[in-house]
């Protein structure tokens, strides 16, 4: 018999972003908006509507919109047990809520809450701790999207490669190879030009200006058992972005696989 999911988990934070409530709502409560700074998203934009976040080939999270109050509040829940491959009776749905509050000066505060119930297993707390650190950089993407590309549809590019070793060592190699120095500096690497907007722990964000305008995230993360992944994800905003992705996504993949990582 599986344990009853009665141990509460909760993640709360708020971010201030540029834009009107209507512009912010488009970014956080529509499929086009979410896909432009988060993950490729399919959404029936209404209460009770189906929701799907794509996390890679044959990977994703399914859910349902449970709250819909434009342009102020959206809530949805995802099947946490299915996402983690666990007994469906061992975990509650994973519930997330976004509340948009207008501020003076043309900005809004987005208050984000995510919660669920588990059994108190060690992996659950680790998962919630990782969720906070991995989710927050996406909201830098949201700020950049609303600052430079509000309302626009993104074409995504994504590539990754795995190596033995630690995320820190791989990140050092990736950062040095791409010339990711100080925030605000110009980045010119692999045929792209942009401005380094953020450097964090094992991840960075570049606002691209050429050859296609957009945002580029670069990151590493550990997969356990001494394996680490390096990846890039770009959100591109132009009529010829799809052609660029068809041409350059395989090239990024080959480049990542050929990194010279110290043993």
Q: Where are the domains of the chain?
A: 7-148, 155-257
pLDDT tens readout for residues 98-142: 999 999 999 999 999 999 999 999 999 999 998 988 899 999 999
- Which token pair is 57? 């080939």
Identical fold for domains 7-148 and 155-257, yes or no, is yes
CA distances from 145 to 96, 117, 138, 158, 200 (A): 21, 32, 10, 18, 18
Identify the CATH number of the domain defined by range 155-257: 3.30.530.20
pTM score, whole prediction: 0.93
CATH architecture of 7-148: 2-Layer Sandwich (3.30)
Exposure string for 168-207, b = 16+ CB within 10 A, e = fewer: ebbbebbbebbebeeeeeebeeeebebebbbbeebbbbbb
Helix (H, G, I), strand (E, B) or coil at 87: coil
Q: Phi/psi of residue 233, each to 5°?
A: -140, 125
Burial class (CB in 10 A: 0-12, 13-18, 19+), 45: middle
Give the Cα separation of 62 and 229 in Å (integer): 25
User: How many other C-beta atoms lie within 10 A of the C-beta of residue 22?
Assistant: 14
How confident is the prediction along the chain (263 residues), in pLDDT tens digits per residue? 457 899 999 999 999 999 999 999 999 999 999 999 999 999 999 999 999 999 877 789 999 999 999 999 999 999 999 999 999 889 999 999 999 999 999 999 999 999 999 999 999 999 999 898 889 999 999 999 999 999 999 999 999 999 998 888 899 999 999 999 999 999 999 999 999 999 998 999 999 999 999 999 999 988 777 889 999 999 999 999 999 999 999 999 999 999 987 76
């Amino acid at each position: 018999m599986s344990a009853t999911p009665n141990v509460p988990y909760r993640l709360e934070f708020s971010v201030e972003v540029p834009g009107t409530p209507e512009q912010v709502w488009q970014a956080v409560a529509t499929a086009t908006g979410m896909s432009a700074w988060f993950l490729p998203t399919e959404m029936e934009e209404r209460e009770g509507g189906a929701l799907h976040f794509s996390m890679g080939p044959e990977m994703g999270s399914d859910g349902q919109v449970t709250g819909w109050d434009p342009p102020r509040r959206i809530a949805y829940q995802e099947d946490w047990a299915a996402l983690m491959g666990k007994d469906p009776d061992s975990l509650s749905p994973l519930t997330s809520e976004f509340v948009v509050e207008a501020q003076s000066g043309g900005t809004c505060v987005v208050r984000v809450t995510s919660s669920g119930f588990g059994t108190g297993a060690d992996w659950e707390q680790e998962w919630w701790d990782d969720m906070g650190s991995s989710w927050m950089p996406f909201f830098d993407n949201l700020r950049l999207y609303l600052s430079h590309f509000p309302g626009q549809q993104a074409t995504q590019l994504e590539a990754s490669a795995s190596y033995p070793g630690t995320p820190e060592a791989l990140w050092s190699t990736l950062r040095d190879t791409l010339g990711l120095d100080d925030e605000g500096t110009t980045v010119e690497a692999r045929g792209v030009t942009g401005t380094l907007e953020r450097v964090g722990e094992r991840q960075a964000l570049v606002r691209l200006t050429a050859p296609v305008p957009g945002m580029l995230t670069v990151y590493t993360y550990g997969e356990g058992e001494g394996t680490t992944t390096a990846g890039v994800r770009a959100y591109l905003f132009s009529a010829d972005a799809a052609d660029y992705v068809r041409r350059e996504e395989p090239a990024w993949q080959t480049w990542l696989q050929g990194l010279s990582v110290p043993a």
